[in-house]
Amino acid sequence: MRAITLVTLLSLLPALSYAQEKQVINNPGTALGLPLSSAVKVGNLLFLSGQIGSKPGTRGPVEGGTEAEVRQAMENIKSTLENAGSSMERVAKCTVFLADMADFAVMNQVYSSFFPKDPPARSTVAVKGLALGAHVEIECIAVAGK
């Protein structure tokens, strides 16, 4: 009996691993050759790469300081989620990286406007520096689907 159960379980492993394979999702216009993906889907979860406040197709933060960068980063996240077939309402967790914790209030004000109801879990940390001189970077985990 144990041998049959073990054989049955082992026969299910390929199906289970197939269901959990990762699917790489890149936004239209994403520069190929960079060592990252816009998002990766595993099962019903979407793992988004960190977004700085740069307009798609450009390589630096938008002008206007932290407030403008947070708004653009959140728009980038929204666009990535929509491209992956999900939405802001399905975000479960965000991590916010700030170059200066003095920008927390400004970040929080803009960030909260994107989650007016039932905001996701969140961590906010100060870091020594961010890519391309950005003031903020935000990464998210979301549930796939609308």
For the chain, domain boundaries: 22-143
- For the segment 19-67, what is each residue's pLDDT rounded down to a tens digit? 578 999 988 877 666 788 899 999 999 999 999 999 887 888 999 999 9
Distance CA 64, CA 112 (A): 19
Secondary structure letter of residue 53 according to DSSP: S
The pair phi, psi for residue 72, each rounded to 5°, is -70, -40
CATH assignment, 22-143: 3.30.1330.40
**What kind and span of H or E run contains 12?**
helix 2-19
Q: How far apart are the first and last CA of the chain?
A: 44
Residues 16-30, buried b or exposed e (16+ Cβ, 10 A)?
eeeeeeeeebbbeeb
**The whole model's pTM is what?**
0.83
Closest CA to 97 of 63, 142, 130: 130
Q: Are 81 and 88 in contact (CB under 8 A)?
A: yes
- For the segment 84-137, what is each residue's pLDDT rounded down to a tens digit? 999 999 999 999 999 999 999 999 999 999 999 999 999 999 999 999 999 999
- For the segment 54-74, what is each residue's pLDDT rounded down to a tens digit? 988 788 899 999 999 999 999
